[in-house]
Amino acid sequence: MLILCYGIMKSGSTLAFELVKGMLENVGHPQTRLPDGPVDAARRQNYISSLDEDRIDALLAAIGDRWVAVKTHAGFDDQLFPRLEDLQARRAVQIIASYRDPRDICLSLMDAGAKARARGVPTFAKMRDLDSAVSRVREQLPKFRKWASVNGTLRLNYETVAFASDEAIDLIEHRLNIVCDRAVAKKHAFEEAFTQRNKAKSERFREEFTPSQNAQLLEAFGPFIRDVCERDDQAWFANHRKRVMSRIGAVKSSPA
C-alpha cells in the first residue's frame, strides 16, 4: 500500500508523516528509501514534489506488496481525482491529509522566514510579515481541500497529532487496520525523527497576534476555521468533491 501523506506547509505534516512511519515500522513494514524517479532525487526521505498518473504508476511499481509512506505538499489535477478514489477504495493507496488552523500556520511561516533570512537560505525567506504569510496560506488551502475531499481520506489536525497523539494513533490504526506499540511509534516521531518542530505550542495565535491581526485572519480564513478546524463539517468536503467530479464530467463531455 502507498500511504500518501499530504500536508499544508507548516501544518505539522512532517510530524504526522513520521508518526505514520513509526507505526508502520513497528508492525513490520520497513520504511526504506524508494529509488530516485518514483521519489524526488534531492530528498533523503520518500518525498514527491509533484503528482500525476505516471508518478502514481511509478510509486506503486516501486512499492510492490510493501506498505510505504510518501510525503508531499503537491496538489494534483482534477483528472487524477477518480483514480485516487479507486485506488483508495481498493486499498492500494491511503491518503492522510494534515492541516492546522491557518492562524498558527501564518505564525510558523513567519518564524521560518526569520530563520531563513538569518541563515541566508532562500526557502521561506520571503515570509517577512503577516500579509506574505496569508498569501502563502491562501495558495495552500485549495490543495488541502481537494486531497481531503477524496473519499476515504484520513484528515489529521495538527492539534490532535501534536497534543493528543494517542487519539491520532487511534485514527491511523483504524484506517490502516493495524495495531502498533504506541510508545515505540511516539518515540520515533517525537524524539528520534527530524520533524522541524518549532515552538510546539497549541493555538499560538491566541497570545501572539494582536486583536486586529486576529480579526484580519478571521476575515481571510473564516470559513476554513469554522468548517474545518472547529466543526470538521463533512459537507464542506462532500460539496467540493461534487464540484470536482462535475468539472471532470464537463471536460469529458465537451466536444474534441
For 196-255, what is each residue's pLDDT tens digit? 666 678 889 999 999 999 999 999 999 999 999 999 999 999 999 999 999 998 555 444
pTM for the full predicted model? 0.92
Structural fold of domain 2-253: Rossmann fold (3.40.50)
Vertex 108 angle, CA 105 and 110, to 5°? 110
pLDDT at 251: 54
CA gap 47, 33 in Å, rounded: 10
**Mean pLDDT over each residue of the chain, to the nearest integer:** 93
Instruction: Give per-residue burial for 159-193: e unless 16+ CB within 10 Å, then b.
Output: bbbbeebeebbebbbebbebebebeebbebbbeeb
pLDDT tens readout for residues 48-103: 999 999 999 999 999 999 999 999 999 999 999 999 999 999 999 999 999 999 99
* pLDDT-based confidence at residue 256 (cuts at 50, 70, 90): very low
pLDDT of residue 254: 41
Local confidence band at 38 (pLDDT 50, 70, 90 cut-offs): very high
The torsion of the CA quartet 16, 18, 22, 24, rounded to 10 degrees, works out to 70
Annotated domain spans of the chain: 2-253
The residue-averaged pLDDT of 12-24 equals: 96
- Which residues face 155 on adjacent strands? 97
Residues whose CB falls within 8 Å of the CB of residue 143, separated by 6 or more in sequence, listed in order: 6, 8, 73, 74, 75
CA neighbor of 221 nearest in space, from 92, 102, 132, 66: 102
As a whole number, mean pLDDT of residues 97-123 equals 90
pLDDT at position 250: 57
- Whether the predicted pLDDT of 42 surpasses 90: no
